[in-house]
Amino acid sequence: MTNRLEIKNLKSFFFLDEGVVKAVNGVDITVGDQETIGVIGESGCGKSVMAQSILRLVQPPGEIVKGTAVLKRKDGTEVDIFSFEPNSADLRSIRGNDIAMVFQEPMTAFSPVYTIGHQISEMVALHTSLSRNEIREHVIRLLNRVGISNPAQRFDEYPHQLSGGMRQRAMIALALSCNPKIVLADEPTTALDVTIQAQILDLMKELQREEDMSIVYITHNMAVIAETVDRVYVMYLGQVVESTTTEELFANPLHPYTQRLVRSIPRPGQRVDKLEVISGTVPIPMDLSPQCGFFSRCPEAIAGQCNKMMPALTEKEEGHFVRCFLYSQETEQDDEWTNI
């Protein structure tokens, strides 16, 4: 038995007065034991809403309207996270013990009015039966482990007293404090300078090896993907448009969107001003018509087909999935949420 998370047909929508924003529109993602997964896509593709949905953190007017998130544990137990009530004890136990989240902005995770040590200790107290003193020792060890100097002193400091890099490390300590099996890291280093970014990524790699974890990196940084992850999901307009191993994705990108993403990262010796940029932006996923989501920006679009039907995600090579009519004529089946 191994740890495994299987997200199937996840749909998370925001019900606004102006209409329905289909932020995540039918996503399948599998996270295997000790795997490092990457989720990539431009701003607005639905990466964060997808990750927040897994832990049921999407707030009204947002709602998970469809899908399952089945967590299979090493001990053989199996639960669908979406079957629990948002504030239930079951869900609280999953957050922390099974799956933890590292947010882009640490202040989302920390309250400004309590010390760092107090907040990590509360998390540990919720999930273990250690005494107060044992918890303090555990947290100080953890702060030390994530590279925070003078951890005993930092324990009693407030979030605003720490630098951005330190806060990010403290948030990783918070996420790791209950030995989660899966860590969802949503742009964990974007706010940091390049040197600190590399340090944090190295640190997470090291902790992953030691602690037997899977990590899902959510990022728009292709370089992070290239260096860090085993398998990649490319998201566009709330859907997965391609997924395969990192090696295969860079060697043989199939989807016109992925091809452009791959060409947008600098190669050694290449001038940054010569990089390809993908013209246009990701549309707001509202009032969607049944067509390929990338149609409005796709140079290879086939008129009369790509703007009339939605391509299905199909397996082109073993383990290499793509959603594009250039590779398969299969179309996505409508469901009860298609026409709202």
Ligand X SMILES: Nc1ncnc2c1ncn2[C@@H]1O[C@H](COP(=O)(O)OP(=O)(O)OP(=O)(O)O)[C@@H](O)[C@H]1O
What is the rounded distance in angstroms from the CA atom of residue 146 to the CA atom of residue 180? 15
* Contact flags string 56-95 toward ligand X, x per CB under 6 A: ------x---------------------------------
Distance of alpha carbon 296 from alpha carbon 179, whole angstroms: 44
306 binds ligand SF4 (CB under 6 A): yes
302: its two tokens = 């086939």
Residues 190-249 that bind ligand X (CB under 6 A): 220
Query: Residues 5, 7, 20, 23: which binds ligand X (CB under 6 A)?
Result: 23
Where does this chain touch ligand X (CB under 6 A) — which range of 42-50, 117-125, 225-233, 256-264? Answer: 42-50
What sign does the dihedral 204-207-209-214 (CA atoms) show? negative
| Residues numbered 81-140 forming contacts with Mg ion, rule: CB under 5 A | none
Tell me which of 26, 41, 117, 311 binds ligand SF4, using CB under 6 A.
311
Rounded Cα distance between 61 and 151, Å, is 40
Cβ proximity to ligand SF4: between 161 and 281 the closer is: 281
The minimum distance between CB 52 and Mg ion, in angstroms, equals: 9
Q: How far apart are CA 132 and CA 122, in angstroms?
A: 10
3-state secondary structure of 34: coil
Site string for ligand SF4, 273-302 (x = CB under 6 A): -------------------x-xx--x-xxx
Minimum separation from the CB atom of position 41 to Mg ion (A): 9
Measured in degrees and rounded to the nearest 5, phi and psi for residue 55 equal -100, 15
Nearer to Mg ion, 3 or 25 (CB): 25
Q: CA-CA distances (angstroms) from residue 136 to 32, 156, 163, 294, 307?
A: 32, 11, 22, 51, 59
Min CB(226)–ligand X separation in Å: 18
DSSP string, 241-252: EEEEEHHHHHHS
Residue type at 235 in one-letter notation? M
Minimum Å distance from CB 338 to ligand SF4?
17
DSSP H helix total and E strand total for the chain: 11, 12
Interface pattern 287-316 for ligand X (x via CB under 6 A)? ------------------------------
Residue 117 · residue 155 · CB < 8 Å: yes
Q: Which does 41 bind (CB under 5 to 8 A by kind): ligand SF4, ligand X, Mg ion, none?
A: ligand X
Instruction: Answer with the entry of ligand X, ligand SF4, Mg ion, none that 62 interacts with (C-beta below 5 to 8 A by kind).
Output: ligand X
Omega of the bond leading into 86 within 30 degrees of 0 (cis): no
* Residue of the chain from 48, 219, 228, 258 that contacts Mg ion (CB under 5 A): 48
Number of residues located near ligand X, criterion CB under 6 A: 15
Among 165, 180, 238, 256, binds ligand SF4 (CB under 6 A): 256
As measured in angstroms, the least distance from the Cβ of 30 to ligand X is 19
Place of tokens 């390049």: 194
CB contact at 8 A, 56 and 10: no
Closest approach, Cβ 279 to ligand SF4, in A, equals 14
Given a contact cutoff of 8 angstroms between Cβ atoms, the answer to whether 15 and 69 are in contact is no
- Whichever of 108 and 131 has its CB closer to ligand X, that residue is 108
Sheet strands side by side (includes 4-16):
19-31, 4-16, 62-72, 78-80
Which amino acid belongs to residue 152?
A: A
User: Where does this chain bind ligand SF4 (CB under 6 A)?
Assistant: 255-256, 292, 294-295, 298, 300-302, 306, 311, 324-326
